[in-house]
Structure 1
């Protein structure tokens, strides 16, 4: 047995081997030490020959799933080794084989999975500036693949991996050598990386695996160009084939089953969906909140009123992947609109859908050979609701619902098979009988009669023997060790007939058998064994018949998921007063009385609505000022969420909304460090801001380009909250202004830019498309009252100290802050800077006193007309020398500065260059 264990363990050296011994799964050596530690079970030992002992631990087979789940959750693989022959019939050591390898990406136990979240396993590879990504949800059968080409391949691959959130990733050629990608994968929460052999990613090998699994002659049917085998397939969809084939090979290797429910390979392009990186998804809290990662407080939590697991998973995908296809968007919106307008239809459908279990995952378990009788009964219950759903859809008008009704298969034949073959409440295991209904199989019915009639026969035998022997206490019993017996107490042994054969002696009684009882035992026990054997074989046959219909069942599951999402979005729209948006191919966003869907839901409907107008070149950059707590961040987020909702096919929280297709949403919201990467808050700001500029520049049409020029859409929505706060004030202002100018020049980009840098408000009128807005605030009894209403123009003043007072700072602290503020304002008069650079207050508030004195003298000199064209300080060199410390500077220094100013090419200087030059000139003046 030990040799058998070692041989199998050698084949699965990277997994913990669960080795079946009787009613336990045993682990040995290093596996036992690791498992006992992580599962907190007792570590023992057993004889290993030559006087040595080996570490050992075990878990009961009926509770194995729980222990396997814990190990897999901690990132381990578990190889399950079963006895594959009857120990009673085995000649020598019982034959054992690994029947399945459980990994983080191939979990099939429902209790280990979130009901409304897909569990993906992915495979990735890089080659010649291209990337391939395949992903599969083993239980639902979803199998997708994409190939990423063009610019920023690595960044786009990272974004897609972050969206899919696989629990396991097969790392293929080109990735292991890529330090940036390797670091990204290592830093992903809950991701287990598996370095799969490069040979599995070979285009030829991968292609053969796919053709064999899908039983097709070519991959063209899946939208993959399938070149002649003599050509290098890497030139045409090669990476898509490589990663998909490698992933399928891994699944077949670990699952040891046909995977018959994986019936389609869906090829998709990231260009068909809105682009959002991980930072954007996190900032907007699309599917989980930023505080604890739960779904509470996310957009998903507001929109998810789905009643089926399939619908919940589809809704999540729609939120994470808003469409760029106008026809598809309007198809969804029309379906939602029909449900909104037909309460009776919506209620009937949602009532019927509540009876639907997780059909996708049930058929996945069944097709993998893991489905129990209870799984089949759950499927049967679900199928029982289909005729009612099909009938409810008759007469629907919207194209989407009409299409679903025309393709809806009620699967009556499968339901009838399950209904007539399985009992309504079968046992948890499939090896103890009690699963098959009476009347389904004639031989099974006969054996059951033999078994049931045996109970009557036993009672009759007991009565007859009591009468024949005169022993009133005689009884007929049964146990698993000795079988059937006649028990006689010791005081009555002298009455025992001669045909009784002693079988067991006990303290107070003797047990006997008779030839008649022995023959009966043979019949009854044989019947019980045959019943269990026949039931199991019948069950497997039923399961196989259902598995053969996996494609039909999954198509219906897909339709049910869509119906559930449409009805859920309609229910939300009706409850919360959402409207149908007009989504068009234009480049403007116009929203009347828009509301933040999540904040509104948390406030139970008490929310101040706001308008939004974003029109390129006209009102392209909304520069929003206002105090903290006034609602700036909520406002900019609500615009993005309304756009995302519209393009996923949902009604939106507004009185009216006209949305020009947005191809990507970019954000810089929140002040967070990336400690793992060694980045400060400011560095993170700069990295993300640079990504915005790169993306905006890439989406500008190439000057003078012809018909085949860069055709990428140029309709990006950018949200920026307080860019530049992570550095000094004037560095921050310079960077923020440069950013606003660059984004305004980027054509189709629409920008919502909230800031505390009031100096930026002068950009309206200077930079085309920039418009000032502010969050309205009024003062009542010395306290600010936030109206949460956006209005044109810059904010008049800030209310920082008032907010501090509201936050609980004591009166003495706030009075001191007000004194400091007044002192700073007194020492920093308006327009201290030289007239050539029209920006307020260039000097740092916390500078030495002589600089403040210099500024005051400059202002005084300008007012009294003391400055002339010869020098900023006025007077000649001699006068300046006589003035001694009372003069500001010498005439030569002033003339040199003026000459420098005259020579500046301001039209071709960036703000940062201008500030740098100003700093140099100031140093000259202070010498």
Structure 2
């Protein structure tokens, strides 16, 4: 048995091998050592022909899903090795084979998946001109392919992977160690190596033909079909090797060009918090959390994809906006739509489970219930006025034939297990009805047998029972053993009773158990036949699921627009960006109605291309800039926006450089990360981009920072000519407004004595102070530090010397003069100047000056 284990383990060296032994999955050697740690289960051992016992651990097969889930969540591959022949009929060792390899990217089990997020498995191939990329979600059947070529291929691939955040990335085995570093991948993306030969073009084309049929790549306009085919074929081969079963739901390749959508790099996605919060990496306090009112899981996944891939074509955006407007204006229509959507299960993942052979009877009932709701939804969408909603309605296939099949065949309340029977409805199959009737008759006869035997023997406590070990029996207590008839045969002895069998009871037992076994076998066979029939209809289910998901996403955007008082943006292509009373959607939701201070934005390609924003810390500069970027992104998603009026010109990319963060693991300081992000912006931005830059240059010395910030602003303004929002505390930069197209803006502040009120209002003009010391005071720094800071600031502002000279000259005031200066101030405060003669005043002033150590009069 150990020899058999080792032979199978050689084929799956990187996976934890769950080796079936009776009612347990066992692990041995290194697998046992690592699994016992990860799963926190007892490590044991067994003899295996060696001097030392073989490490061993195991889990019950009926509870294996939970343990597998824990291993997969840690990035492990788990190979399931089953007994593939009947142990009773086997000669020698029972034959075993790996029936499936479960990896983070190939999970089908619902307890391991997020309902409203795709579980992507990606595969990347490298060629001379760039990279091929293939992405699938085995739970839904999505299979997308692209190629990224040219000088920026690596950056574009990293951006795409950071957008998708696949659970697993498959690359050639020879590249598995270098690939993440080469692309500078962010986030927790598990990189798995796969045999290099699968990435060869000939092998890849064979795998593609087997999965999708001949000519899968004949009609595509991607830049490098060959390298894309290498990635796609390797992914198809990986799925075949790991899943070892039908993948009929993966039946169509979607070719896509990242250039069809707005490009968003990883820092921008992070800074704008589209679907993951920077604070805890969850959906809470993200744009998705504000806009997601979807009713179905598949609608939630589609809305997430829309937000992460804003559109670039004006016609597509307007089509979505038309649909959102119609739904937003018609509350009754929207409510009816929601009621119909609520009845529909996750058709995408149901289709995947059916094709994968993992669907149970309850999944089929969920499918039936969903299909029965489709005619009403289709009719409702047929009443819509806009073309997109009508198109979605027309794309829904009610599949009456499939619904009818399921309604006739599958019991309305089936058990969870397919081996327990009770799956097939009475009346669907005559053989099922006959076996079921025979079983009922035999059980009825058994009930009559008990009464007859009581009368025959005179034993009132006699009872007929059943257990899985001994079958049917007659139980008689020890006090009645003298009355047991001669034709009773002892079957089992208990402490207080004996159990017997009779020829008549044995005959009934054969009838009941025989009928039951044949019934269970037949029901299971019929169920598999129905599941195969459904597999042949998977394309219809998938097309309908896509249409329903799109309707749900549009409903969600309309609901958000209605709830939050959003307006329809006007989509332009002339470069104008006009926002009146714009709000940050996430902060507005967090703060509550009427609390958020709205702001205007007015930009174009000529007179107002670069907004130079100055003002205090914590006054709202970063929020304002993020707000503008989010409103533009929402508009190109097809959403209404938080404003009273919005005219949005299409942008091809949004770049943001906000906040301070380092990359310790990558050996990059905060300033180096900042400069790398700036480099990516100037390398990738075009005239049609929107750039948001916050406090560039603050990670180095003041003069270095000012110089870099100024040079960067000038380069973007003169060379790239993109619309840019540039916030800074370097007030020296405000003279850039002499350049045509640069406009100074500042965040308004109101001072009342020593109190400062941030008005959160962005107005034309430049700020004259940064109020950093006031913010330090708000943070609770000791009064001594605040006072010392204020003194140094005054000296710096009134001196022509360098900051270091001023600071050095003021050391006396800190070490020994601070207390003296306070005494001098007290003395000045109590002087009666009006009663002093001029000479007395001069003398007193001389003494006070001398007291604080100033020798200027000496």
TM-score using structure 2 length: 0.91
Which of 666, 681, 695 does residue 692 from structure 1 map onto? 681
Q: Aligned partners of 2:666 and 2:32: how far apart in 1? A: 36
Query: Which residue is 1:650 aligned to?
Result: 639
1:663 alignment partner in structure 2: 652
1:617 aligns with 2:613: no
SS at match of 2:623: helix
2:414 maps to 426
Contact 2:124–2:134 under 8 Å retained in 1: yes
Distance, in Å, in 2 between the alignment partners of 1:825 and 1:35 is: 65
CA 1:221–1:436: 2 relative to 1, 3 Å: farther
> How far apart are 1:493 and its partner, in Å?
3.5
Q: How does 1:568-607 map to 2 (within 5 A)?
A: 568-605=556-593, 606-607=595-596
- Deviation sequence 1:678-732 (CA, Å, 0-9, x none): 1112222222222222224xxxxxxxxxxxxxxxx63011101111111111111
- In structure 2, relative to structure 1, the CA distance for the partners of 1:174 and 1:740 (3 Å cut) is farther
Change (3 A) 1:154 1:507: closer
CA contact (8 A) 1:126 1:174 kept: no
Take 1:810 and 1:512, find their aligned partners in 2: how far apart are those partners? 90
The answer to whether 1:743 aligns with 2:701 is no
- Greater Cα shift, 565-574 or 467-476: 467-476
Distance 1:812 1:388, change over 3 A: same
Summarize the Cα distance change of 1:461–1:757 in structure 2 as closer, same or farther, 3 Å threshold.
same
Corresponding residue for 1:806? 778
Asked if the contact 2:46/2:53 (under 8 Å) is kept, the reply is yes
Tell me which residue corresponds to 1:482.
470
Q: CA deviation at 1:506?
A: 4.1
Counterpart of 2:845? none
Cα deviation, residue 507, structure 1: 4.4
| Unmatched 5+ stretches in structure 2 | 811-858
**Alignment gaps of 5+ in structure 1:** 226-235, 697-712, 829-842, 853-927
Alignment counterpart, residue 375 of structure 2, candidates 382, 387, 394: 387
Structure 1 residue 289, shift from structure 2 partner = 1.2
Pairing partner for 1:722 from 679, 695, 719: 695
Is 1:133 aligned to residue 133 of structure 2? yes
- Report the alpha carbon displacement of residue 224 of structure 1 after superposing the two structures with TM: 6.5
What do the CA deviations read for 1:748-805 (whole angstroms, capped 9, x no partner)? 401100011111111111x221111111111123312211111111113332223233
Does 1:197 pair with 2:198?
no
Match of 1:142? 142
8 A contact 2:180–2:191 mirrored in 1: no
Deviation digits for residues 368-420 of structure 1, max 9, x if unmatched? 11112222222222223212211211221111111112221112222222222
How much is the aligned-residue C-alpha RMSD, in angstroms?
A: 2.1
Match of 2:207 in 1: 209
Q: Of residues 702, 723, 741 in structure 2, which corresponds to 1:769?
A: 741
Label 1:452 to 1:588 Cα distance change in 2 as closer, same or farther (>3 A): same
> Matched residues in 2 for 1:479 and 1:173: separation?
54
Specify the alignment match of 1:832 in structure 2: none
Separation in 2 of the partners of 1:597 and 1:295? 14
User: Which of 822, 845, 857 is 2:803 aligned to?
Assistant: 845
Match of 1:11 in 2: 11
Which position in structure 2 is the counterpart of 1:397?
A: 385
Contact 2:446 2:508 in 1 (8 A): no
Q: Cα distance, 1:747 vs. partner?
A: 4.7
Aligned to 1:757: 730
The one of 749, 760, 764 equivalent to 1:792 is 764
For 1:834, the equivalent position in structure 2 comes to none
The residue that corresponds to 1:85 in the other structure is 85
Aligned to 2:757, the other structure's residue is in SS state strand
Provide the C-alpha distance between the structure 1 equivalents of 2:183 and 2:382, rounded to a whole number of angstroms. Answer: 53
CA distance in 1, matches of 2:588, 2:150: 41
CA distance in 1, matches of 2:265, 2:216: 35
**How does 1:437-448 map onto structure 2 within 5 Å?**
437-448=425-436
Residue 553 of structure 2 corresponds to residue 565 of structure 1: yes
Match of 1:253 among 217, 230, 241: 241
Aligned length: 809
Task: Give the Cα–Cα distance (whole angstroms) in 2 for the partners of residues 462 and 547 of structure 1.
Answer: 48
Asked whether 1:322 is paired with 2:310, we answer yes
Q: Quick one: distance in 2 between partners of 1:150 and 1:384? A: 50
**Residue of structure 1 in register with 2:663 after alignment:** 674
Is 1:170 matched with 2:159? no
1:818 deviation in Å? Answer: 2.2
Offset at residue 19 of structure 1 (A): 1.5
More deviation, 490-499/386-395: 490-499
Contact 2:796 2:806 in 1 (8 A): no
Quote the Cα distance in structure 1 between the aligned partners of 2:54 and 2:256. 52
* Structure 1 position 806, deviation (Å): 2.8
- Asked if the contact 1:666–1:719 (Cα under 8 Å) also holds between the matched residues in 2, the reply is yes
Q: What per-residue deviation string (whole Å, max 9, x for no partner) do you get for residues 584-622 of structure 1?
A: 222221111111111111111321111111111311100
Deviation at 1:243, TM superposition (A): 0.3
Task: Give the direction of change, closer, same or farther, for the CA distance of 1:513–1:802 in structure 2 (3 Å limit).
Answer: closer
SS in 1 for 2:805: coil
1:20 deviation in Å?
1.7
Matched ranges for 1:95-134 at <5 A: 95-134=95-134
CA distance in 2 between partners of 1:81 and 1:625 (Å): 65
Separation in structure 2 between the aligned mates of residue 33 and residue 596 of structure 1, nearest angstrom: 51
Q: Does the Cα contact within 8 Å between 1:173 and 1:201 map onto a contact in 2? A: no
Inter-CA distance 51–492: structure 2 relative to 1 (3 Å threshold): farther
- State the match for 1:503 in structure 2: 491
User: Is 1:343 matched with 2:331?
Assistant: yes
Alignment CA distance shift 1:289-1:479 (3 Å): closer
Q: 1:515 aligns with which of 500, 503, 506?
A: 503
Q: For 2:188 and 2:360, locate their aligned partners in 1 and report how far apart those are by CA, in whole Å.
A: 29
Query: TM (normalized to structure 1)?
Result: 0.84
